[in-house]
Structure 1
């Protein structure tokens, strides 16, 4: 049976051992590391690969850059044919940890004097922590906030305060005020909250959660219902979810006709990476940013990312451990920062704007920023880049759970059915909770 693309596979090595017994890490490295899933070989990724290769010159690294595939992972795990390192979304990590398909890394970190509390943002480490152990080496943290189209706001007589998320009526009113409809079809929307893909973010903003402190699904939290009801109001103020979704799906998100150039949107929730997309259009856009506020009125954010794991039965765990940590070291990120700075200088269409690299490590983020992120000459970009850096430290984790991807899938299906009017938020989330709990019990029950 598949659970959200993650096949459930009972293993005798649950709890952190392998088929041949517990894994021990040593500073005597094996000659080869086989890696699967590292598909990040842009300037940032390649520079880090080069750094790790130079630092571990005695280790031959063989990279299969094919994207991670859950069915392939579990099939290879069943046959004992997995590589030494696999890169995957952090949502998968607790699932495979609960099944005993990956190795806990506390000994690996201790051997290399890596303190998780210092190395990563707490929310990033929490994403890969299950049963009081770390199971992955995380990388990247793309915090979302509200990316403003200052030109559209000014035309409506509004500013960033219109998106104070402690004033829900104000957000709905601002969204409606900036929306332009031709009949029932929008030609501009005031606010795209990305209500389905960012549903968990909004639930956290309302004081809810999708996972409790024990990693059990919590989709039917009453605060989550309130979050969906708010999203319904935002979409209804702009012509309804179906009309807004159809309009947004037609955006030229990465091109010359992107919604900040064409003023098709007044504001939207975007991760930090989208600032890089807009740099070629710096002379055509007027952007700003404001963070979401939690139920107490404090800035916050939440985002996922990737992690490296070591599968059970890996032939070269010591070299795998060293390679993962070297690839995510501060020196590796500084090499990436230099590569991105070189790319920025070599490509005039970027307008000299380096928006930074959000690594998942606060020290690395700050080091890259100090060396390579300079004033751009575009005040809106400077303020926006600053806002993303400011909010990164205020992040929280969505929570690690063996239900993993199944929970995310059930959540998005529930929100979609609510926004389309097919079910009430209460009923949709109750059904999603039941399905997510079945997934949790099936996976967690194998340990």
Structure 2
């Protein structure tokens, strides 16, 4: 899973504008900024790496809408260390594109501006414009600190050939029935002696740890952002994942096998029947479109402990650093990039690409914007997989579950909490510590980090 996690992170970084997800001054700087001023002058941006057809269409739309603004973009990837260095030097850009998980940390450090006044100046109601759970991702201390964009809901992508061979149905892949889920995974798994030659169900137990804790009624932080890693529900989630991996040969064996799969190329697990089912974010449906004639896909949502469809929000955002020289233009530009008109331009560009590139097989998996209004018209007018019912099922499942999302929660120590959780998951799944002990140790370390950054 290490190789796949790294690859997934690379994809996530590329998704920042694409369509394939210490210093002071925060609140004070925002109060002094006239976000309603006519946007003009030069605007500098950073973090716009690998801009694709979707990104270019939105940039062109914003440029046409804000004719008085000259945009200069640094098209290198966001780097947390570089961000902090720029903040110390006082040489910050006006707008930065970052993953939403970074937002509360920088807000607590006073490195970015709260944007409530920005939204008010442009008559944007965040709770209406974005899914509430997407807005919650960037809300801390009752203020929003970023303009969200994209939303990558995970679901279970299934391999119909493997399921049929193993006598497993979609109903068996119900995460609210752990025993049935484990039995289905075991039935789809193929062992060659003590080695795995097919994984029945890959839950991405480490990289999707937060999702699994939430699905079991737990969570990583409370409403104040303090870590809650040692909750009883979290222990139950880790115990389930332990049993799930053990039924398939053990975490180490499954992890090694999955890490060796070329998930982005001809060796992918669905074309070669190396997996029966796996948890994937929506972007992976795009990866599989060139193999549409070689795979038999299906999709089912993850479910919470009550059996209801469930997913967790995640994606990218635009922030305005506290040291920005042109924050009013940054505000107007970031909002313009996330309007319904910008997303329509992006959807039209993606439709043209789908038609022009033969290896897409005419499959348009849609765009997941973070905005329910934009998602709806893109789904209705553009998303389609004619002739490929499995891909259509995947498209529909991702769209259906998007509204059921839950925010993982905002915390000024969010990065540290996630890191400690992943360490605990690895330790527990490898059998190095019990779930209780692993989560207790992670909670202690995460709380120490939280107290340090929050002054608690």
Which band: TM-score by shorter chain?
over 0.9
Equivalent in the alignment of 2:213: 203
Q: How does 1:364-403 map to 2 (within 5 A)?
A: 364-403=374-413
Q: 2:317 aligns with which of 280, 304, 307?
A: 307
Match of 1:247 in 2: 257
- Matched with 1:317 is 327
Q: What is the alpha-carbon distance in structure 1 between the residues aligned to residue 217 and residue 32 of structure 2?
A: 40
Instruction: Name the residue aligned to 2:80.
Output: 70
Instruction: Name the structure 1 match of 2:373.
Output: 363
Matched, 1:39 2:39: no
Question: Of residues 178, 182, 192 in structure 2, which corresponds to 1:172?
Answer: 182
Distance 1:40 1:255 in 2: 19
| TM-score with structure 1 setting the length | 0.95
Does 2:451 correspond to 1:434?
no
TM-score, normalising length: structure 2: 0.93
Aligned to 2:58, the other structure's residue is in SS state helix
Structure 1 residues 174 and 21 mapped into 2: Cα distance closer, same or farther (>3 Å)? Answer: closer
Counterpart of 1:13?
25
Match of 2:40 in 1: 30
Aligned residues between the structures: 435
State how far apart, in whole Å, the 2-side matches of 1:415 and 1:205 are. 15
CA distance in 2, matches of 1:405, 1:274: 24
Corresponding residue of 1:140: 150
Alignment CA distance shift 1:333-1:163 (3 Å): same
Kindly indicate whether the alpha-carbon contact (under 8 Å) linking 1:251 and 1:259 is maintained by their aligned counterparts in 2. Answer: yes
Shift, 1:440, TM fit: 1.1
Q: Does 1:194 align with 2:212?
A: no
Task: Give distance in 2, aligned partners of 1:153 and 1:12.
Answer: 56
Gaps of 5+ in 2: 1-21
Task: Measure how far apart 1:21 and its partner are.
Answer: 7.2
Gaps of at least 5 residues in structure 1 are 1-8
Among 140, 155, 160, the residue aligned to 1:150: 160
Shift of residue 26, structure 1, vs aligned partner:
2.6
Partner residue, 2:107: 97
Give the distance between the partners of 1:430 and 1:97, measured in 2 at CA: 27
Partner of 2:306: 296
Q: 1:283 to 1:75 in 2, by over 3 A?
A: same
SS at the partner of 1:331? Answer: helix
Which residue of structure 1 lines up, in the alignment, with residue 361 of structure 2? 351
Matched, 1:274 2:287: no
Q: 1:129·1:135 contact (CA, 8 Å) conserved in 2?
A: yes
SS of 2:96 mapped into structure 1: strand
Deviation at 1:427, TM superposition (A): 1.1
CA distance in 1 between partners of 2:81 and 2:452 (Å): 17
- Residue 434 of structure 1: CA displacement? 1.2
RMSD: 1.3
**DSSP-derived class of the 1:190 partner:** strand
Q: CA-to-partner distance for each residue in 1:59-80, whole Å, 9 max, x for gaps?
A: 0000001111111111111121
Q: Secondary structure at the match of 1:191?
A: strand
1:299 Cα shift?
0.6
Q: 1:4 corresponds to which residue?
A: none
Deviation of residue 321 (structure 1)? 0.3
Q: Is the 8 A contact 2:39 2:66 kept in 1?
A: no
